[in-house]
């Protein structure tokens, strides 16, 4: 493996795309979209890929990796062959759509070329018709690609190009087994390009096993965030966040904005409150069906929508040129999420603004972000009420100035003049009355909110806390985000060799869920139990039922708690099916091990012979187990229902005659 390290700050002469021996049709398309010179990762990657070499490209998000592999593939593809020639694997459907859209732009002057995105959440009919038409470029998520391979609707036996985009993210989401299965179905003669932001051990092993003497290209970056993004933060308490956001939206000049929150419910709540205040806002989260999601993103691109309220997973892979601002309404708990969030703006050389809301108790998270990004965030003060009112008056005056140029001005002038003559009212009063018709005078100017009054101290009454249930019988419990979780059963288990990471990755990708939406995962012999949010939408459940893990349909359904090879009261410990040492259930009643009389002294003995159990002289003749007259007559070992403190255990000895 040869290594090439590109330093973006080096003073080397920057080549143009024309210097890279790119197909003339692709070169024309790049010129159409305004690309003049390649980014460092593009300049280093395109030549070896054009030569047919395998490549490992290491670069951060937003550095132009898509064009780095799309341009050489399109320059070498044969449109006369109506079969899949290139397969690009992406970890999320958002990134798959983004990559497919980029291929469409770069192939605008290549007639007969078809690009098909295939991902979970979209109807199979559209994808099947595209495959029958003979798409040469397939962009897909691992789970859906596996589905088509299993159904026989996708043939990659003659594949010529394979790209693993965001490979580290794919492995983090648990797609390693799926990726390796896909690689196994491809011919050895294919050309492979692997792109990743980092090089963990799993990526390096994958590279050594499946790539042929790859050229490793690393693009250094001084920071993990783009230098053309202005990063600021503001101190605001949780209860004042909406007021703070309203002030910023009124005073800040922005084109389009993404506001990040932690939960799906928060996206809907905040978008609704912003619409009530007159802003053009919509929500996207894992419960939004794909068709609606695509319409919403289309509105954001066209300018019909200005504000998108989103969760981390829902916005992954989103690239809209109009996004000038990113607001972290809820501060992320990990720096990686922060970097991905603000990466939605300031892309491909454009400038952007990132604003972070920090509550007083969240200052430590701010410090973590500054250490990780190696960039200090500038603190700002919230706009004052006077600032907001001055902006409202300015916009009102601008509206009057714009209306004076309207073609309908003369028509309404006639109406006003007639009204003035008939009612003898000054023109200024008439204009003010018209303004009242179009504006709410009571809320036009913002007022200072009264200072909150501290409540009088009073004795607290003890609160009853509901018990936290954490059983395998379908009962619900509270998850990490405060949402209620219930147990679902899926039809894959140990015999399918599944790992928890594969389960999380497949379900998160197909259902649009986050890692924090998952609770306990218990892998059994032929099935697994997974705790998921109780309020999953019907569309999400339908998508999850059709999900496959390692090629097996998981058939997700709520767990009934019925025994499947062992009682439901057993809990898995480290997925070994062992009983918990703290308690056992007998006939629905828990008994501590220490309450079983004599069992304490017996439990640690290597030999369970009755000689070790103490003096039994007063308990009858042990040579004949039927002589238990003093203990209720145990003539048969299954008849122990009357045995003192073990009343509920009789049924547990059946079959031990």
pLDDT in tens, 516-535: 788 889 999 889 999 998 88
* Predicted local distance difference test score (pLDDT) of residue 55: 94
Mean pLDDT value of segment 245-261 = 90
Average pLDDT over residues 611-638: 43
What fold, for 229-385? Rossmann fold (3.40.50)
In this predicted structure, which of 126-140, 165-179, 371-385, 643-657 has the lowest mean pLDDT?
Answer: 643-657
Does position 263 have pLDDT exceeding 60, yes or no? Answer: yes
Q: What is the mean pLDDT of residues 535-544?
A: 83
Q: How far apart are CA 69 and CA 106, in angstroms?
A: 11
The pLDDT of residue 42 is above 70: yes
Mean of the pLDDT values across residues 26-34?
87
Q: Which of 365, 372, 327, 361 is nearest to 345 (CA)?
A: 327
Instruction: Identify the pLDDT of residue 252.
Output: 86
Least-confidence region, from 382-386, 491-495, 638-642:
638-642
Q: Which residue has the higher pLDDT, 460 or 218?
A: 218
Return the structure tokens found at 60.
Answer: 């951060």
**Burial of 619 by CB count in 10 Å (0-12 exposed, 13-18 middle, 19+ buried)?**
middle
**pLDDT surpasses 60 at 441:** no
Average of pLDDT values for 316-328? Answer: 85
Q: Where in the chain is the domain with CATH 3.40.50.300?
A: 2-219, 229-385
pLDDT at position 328: 94
Q: Rounded to an integer, what distance in angstroms lies between the CA atom of residue 531 and that of residue 469?
A: 12
Find the mean pLDDT for residues 368-374.
81
| CATH 3.30.70.330 intervals, the chain | 477-558
**What pLDDT does 546 receive?**
82
Structure tokens at 515: 């890692």
> What is the pLDDT at residue 648?
41
Share of the chain above pLDDT 90, in %: 28
Please give the pLDDT value at position 261.
92
Task: Tell me what pLDDT residue 327 has.
Answer: 95
Confidence band, pLDDT 50/70/90 cuts, at residue 182: very high
Distance between start and end Cα atoms, the chain: 68
115 pLDDT more than 70: yes
| CATH fold for the domain made of 2-219 | Rossmann fold (3.40.50)
Helix ranges (DSSP H) in 116-240: 124-133, 142-151, 167-172, 176-184, 201-210
Per-residue pLDDT, averaged over 324-337, amounts to: 85
- The helix/strand count (H/E) of the chain reads as 21, 24
Whether residue 68 is predicted with pLDDT greater than 70 in this model: the reply is yes
Which region holds residue 326: left if phi is over 0, alpha if psi is between -120 and 50, else beta? Answer: beta
User: Does pLDDT of 214 surpass 70?
Assistant: yes
Specify the pLDDT at position 282: 94
Q: Please give the helix or strand (H or E) that residue 414 lies within, else none.
A: helix 409-423
The predicted structure's pLDDT at residue 264: 85
> Two tokens at 361?
């108790």
User: What is the sign, positive or negative, of the torsion defined by CA atoms of 148, 154, 156, 162?
Assistant: negative
pLDDT at position 32 is: 85
| Tokens matching residue 30 | 């790049």
- Report how far residue 403's alpha carbon sits from residue 394's, in angstroms, rounded to the nearest whole number: 14
CA distance 119 to 97: 9
Q: Which pLDDT score, from 0 to 100, does residue 385 have?
A: 77
What pLDDT score does 226 carry? 62
Predicted pLDDT at 618: 45
| pLDDT in the model for residue 603 | 42
If you average pLDDT over every residue of the chain, what do you get? Answer: 77
Average pLDDT over residues 149-160: 93
Say if CB 54 and CB 105 are below 8 A apart. no
- Residue 450's pLDDT band (cuts 50, 70, 90): low
Percent of residues, the chain, with pLDDT higher than 70? 73
Query: What pLDDT sits at residue 545?
Result: 84
> What is the model's pLDDT at position 191?
95
**Span 294-298, mean pLDDT?**
89
pLDDT at 456 over 70: no
- Residue 212 CA, distance from chain mean position: 32
Mean pLDDT of 473-485: 62
pLDDT at 25: 95
pLDDT at residue 14, as a whole number = 60
d(CA 218, CA 454): 57
Residue 98 near residue 262, CB atoms below 8 Å: no
Q: Is a pLDDT exceeding 60 seen at residue 588? A: no
Position with higher pLDDT, 366 vs 64:
366
pLDDT of the residue at 225: 57
- The pLDDT assigned to 476 comes to 55
Instruction: Please tell me the predicted confidence (pLDDT) of residue 408.
Output: 80
Contact 323, 358 (CB under 8 A): no
In which band, very low, low, confident or very high, does the pLDDT at 644 lie, cut at 50, 70 and 90? Answer: very low
- For residue 229, the model assigns a pLDDT of 86
Higher per-residue confidence, 252 vs 441: 252
pLDDT at 586 over 50: no
Topology adopted by domain 477-558: Alpha-Beta Plaits (3.30.70)
């Amino acid at each position: 493996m040869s290594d090439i390290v590109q330093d973006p700050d080096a003073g080397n002469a920057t080549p143009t795309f024309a210097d890279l021996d790119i197909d003339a049709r692709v070169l024309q398309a790049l010129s159409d979209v305004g690309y003049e010179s390649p980014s460092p990762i593009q300049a280093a990657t395109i030549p070896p890929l054009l030569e047919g070499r395998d490549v490992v490209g290491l670069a951060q998000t937003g550095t132009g990796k898509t064009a780095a592999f799309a341009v050489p593939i399109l320059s070498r593809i044969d449109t006369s062959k109506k079969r899949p020639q290139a397969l690009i694997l992406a970890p999320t459907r958002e990134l798959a759509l983004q990559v497919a859209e980029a291929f469409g732009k770069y192939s605008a002057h290549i007639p007969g070329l078809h690009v098909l995105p295939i991902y979970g959440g979209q109807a199979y009919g559209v994808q099947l018709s595209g495959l029958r038409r003979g798409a040469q470029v397939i962009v897909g998520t691992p789970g859906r690609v596996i589905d088509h391979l299993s159904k026989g609707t996708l043939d990659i036996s003659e594949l010529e190009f394979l790209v693993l985009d965001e490979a580290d993210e794919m492995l983090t989401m648990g797609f390693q087994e799926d990726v390796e299965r896909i690689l196994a179905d491809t011919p050895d003669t294919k050309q492979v390009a692997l792109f990743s932001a980092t090089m963990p051990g799993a990526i390096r092993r994958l590279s050594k096993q499946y790539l042929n003497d790859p050229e490793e290209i690393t693009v250094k970056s001084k920071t993990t965030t783009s230098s053309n993004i202005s990063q600021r933060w503001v101190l605001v308490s949780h209860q004042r966040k909406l007021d703070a956001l309203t002030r910023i939206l009124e005073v800040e000049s922005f084109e389009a904005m993404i506001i990040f929150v932690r939960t799906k419910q928060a996206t809907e709540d905040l978008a609704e409150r912003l619409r009530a205040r007159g802003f053009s806002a919509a929500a996207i989260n894992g419960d939004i069906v794909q068709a609606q999601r695509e319409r919403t993103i289309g509105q954001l691109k066209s300018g019909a929508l200005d504000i998108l309220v989103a969760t981390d997973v829902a916005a992954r892979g989103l690239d809209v040129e109009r996004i000038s601002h990113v607001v972290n309404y809820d501060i992320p708990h990990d720096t990686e999420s922060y970097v991905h969030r603000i990466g939605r703006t300031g892309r491909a050389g454009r400038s952007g603004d990132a604003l972070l809301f920090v509550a007083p108790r969240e200052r430590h998270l701010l410090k973590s972000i500054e250490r990780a990004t190696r960039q200090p965030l500038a603190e700002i003060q919230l706009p004052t009420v006077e600032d907001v009112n001055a902006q409202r008056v300015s916009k009102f005056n601008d509206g009057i100035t714009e209306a004076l140029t309207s073609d309908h001005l003369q028509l309404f002038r006639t109406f006003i003049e007639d009204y003035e003559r008939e009612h003898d009212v000054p023109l200024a009063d008439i204009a003010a009355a018209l303004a009242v018709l179009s504006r709410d005078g009571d809320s036009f100017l913002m007022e200072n909110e009264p200072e909150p009054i501290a409540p009088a101290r009073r004795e607290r009454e003890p609160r009853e806390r509901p018990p936290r249930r954490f059983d395998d019988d379908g009962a619900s419990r509270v998850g990490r985000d405060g949402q209620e979780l219930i147990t679902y059963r899926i039809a894959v288990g140990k015999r399918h060799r599944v790992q928890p990471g594969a389960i999380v990755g497949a379900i998160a990708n197909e259902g649009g869920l986050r890692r924090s939406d998952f609770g306990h995962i218990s892998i059994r012999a032929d099935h697994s139990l997974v705790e998921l949010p109780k309020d999953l939408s019907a569309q999400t459940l339908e998508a999850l039922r059709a999900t496959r893990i390692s090629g097996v349909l998981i058939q997700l359904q709520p767990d009934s708690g019925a025994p499947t090879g062992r009682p439901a009261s057993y809990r898995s410990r480290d997925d070994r099916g062992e009983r918990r040492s703290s308690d056992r259930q007998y006939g629905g009643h828990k008994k501590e091990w220490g309450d079983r009389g004599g069992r304490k002294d017996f439990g640690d003995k290597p030999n369970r012979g009755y000689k070790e159990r103490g003096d039994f002289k007063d308990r009858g003749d042990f040579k004949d187990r039927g002589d238990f007259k003093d203990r209720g007559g145990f003539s048969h070992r299954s008849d122990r229902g009357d045995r003192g403190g073990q009343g509920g255990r009789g049924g547990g000895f059946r079959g031990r005659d």
